[in-house]
Amino acid sequence: MVYICTGGTMSDYSYFCGIDLAKNHFSIHAVDKHGKVLLHKSVTHSKLLTKIANMSPMRIGVEACGGAHY
């Protein structure tokens, strides 16, 4: 998982989201600051930005598998 810091601290965010980049789908797993699962879903590449844009500001970590570059 790669974390990109854009400022602020971890406590400034209500949600944390992990995105697994795969060849055909992205797997999204979001939790609140207490670890409660808020979202666990697989979406197509074209729907990822729409899904993320409709969520509250969050810290995002991205993980890519070996086939993500195809």
Q: What does the domain layout of the chain look like in residue ranges?
A: 2-64
Q: What is the pTM of this model?
A: 0.67
32 contacts 38 by C-beta, under 8 angstroms:
yes
Number of CB atoms found within 10 A of residue 50's CB:
9
Q: What distance in Å separates the CA atoms of residue 9 and residue 53, rounded to the nearest whole number?
A: 21
Confidence at 25, pLDDT banded by 50, 70, 90 = confident
- H/E segment holding residue 46: helix 45-53
Confidence at 1, pLDDT banded by 50, 70, 90 = very low
The average confidence (pLDDT) of the chain is 78
Average pLDDT over residues 6-31: 79
Q: Which has more pLDDT, 26 or 68?
A: 26
Per DSSP, 48 falls in state: H
* The pair of three-digit structure tokens given for residue 1, joined into one six-digit string: 């998982």
pLDDT digits (tens, 9 = 90+) for 28-60: 999 988 889 988 999 998 898 888 888 888 888
Q: Which fold has domain 2-64?
A: Nucleotidyltransferase; domain 5 (3.30.420)
